[in-house]
Amino acid sequence: MKWKGRRQSGNMEDRRGMSTGGKVIAGGGAIGIIILLLQIFGGETAQNLAPVLEQINQSQQSQEVRQRELTVQEQEIGEFAATILADTEDVWNQIFRENNLGDYQEPTFVLFSDAVSSGCGNASAASGPFYCPADYKLYMDLTFFDELKTRFGAQGGDFAIAYVTAHEIGHHIQTILGTSSKVRQLQQQTNQAGANELSVAQELQADFYAGVWAHHNQDYLEEGDIDEALSAANAVGDDAIQRRTQGSVNPDSFTHGTSEQRKYWFMKGYKTGDIRQGDTFSELLN
């Protein structure tokens, strides 16, 4: 993908190389302070302590400092991620305007290494890239893409990262359009197999949205980019993952869709560029 020298999004949170240890020490200190305050103020209510606790919280956050400098390669991949995010902002702002969907609320892109705390709980690098609807943020440990290559046999390349980012942005779109909460509601009214089927449809729609984004970003695509995306989609299909981890395939437990389905929906979005073509739900449920 042609990306150098283009706009980078300001909605980035780069937490790579950040210490979480400092936070723990500060936490211990804060508890000490609270106990001290309780001793001093004795009968004070918790409400009176609230401003103090808030201050402590703020100082705790500022304790999280970068423990090491990022390498040149890490800096570059961060700039690439910021450019992809900017591209998704441009495309989705325009699509929302054109389809009268209201304002596109831009999500935040968090880069982390090893572990991260999110509005959806703590996560480690092993959980892979994810989107948290509670804080409108997508979280990514970029070492995932080494694993995609070595463990899942994808061909790799920068567009694999772009595709996965655009897929997570797809979940953001589903969240702000209300699709995700509808899916959760329906899942509560059905059995496990039915819930999985809904989950597959939701995932495939995120792949479709990634394709729609790629369609509107065509000016910056280079030869081989779409193949990189398809190769990544192929590698992270449920059937491919199950075959590798279990040696057999059990469609009822699919939650993301087969490699074929993932490629199909990405390409449908890429070819049409039209968000109205992305009803993965009726096609699957009929």
Which residues of the shown chain bind Zn ion in the complex (CB under 5 A)?
203, 206
Q: Which is nearer to Zn ion, 56 or 257 (CB)?
A: 257
User: Which phi and psi angles does 254 have, rounded to 5°?
Assistant: -65, 135
User: Which phi and psi angles does 15 have, rounded to 5°?
Assistant: -105, 15
Distance of CA 92 to the CA centre of its chain: 16
Shortest spacing between CB 207 and Zn ion, in angstroms: 8
Q: Which is nearer to Zn ion, 16 or 172 (CB)?
A: 172
Q: Which is nearer to Zn ion, 49 or 195 (CB)?
A: 195
Shortest spacing between CB 77 and Zn ion, in angstroms: 21
Shortest spacing between CB 39 and Zn ion, in angstroms: 50
Locate 230 and state its tokens: 């398809």
Shortest spacing between CB 178 and Zn ion, in angstroms: 17
Q: Which is nearer to Zn ion, 123 or 206 (CB)?
A: 206
Shortest spacing between CB 168 and Zn ion, in angstroms: 7
Shortest spacing between CB 171 and Zn ion, in angstroms: 6
- Residue pair 130/123 in contact (Cβ under 8 Å)? The answer is yes
Q: Which is nearer to Zn ion, 82 or 206 (CB)?
A: 206
Q: Which is nearer to Zn ion, 85 or 206 (CB)?
A: 206
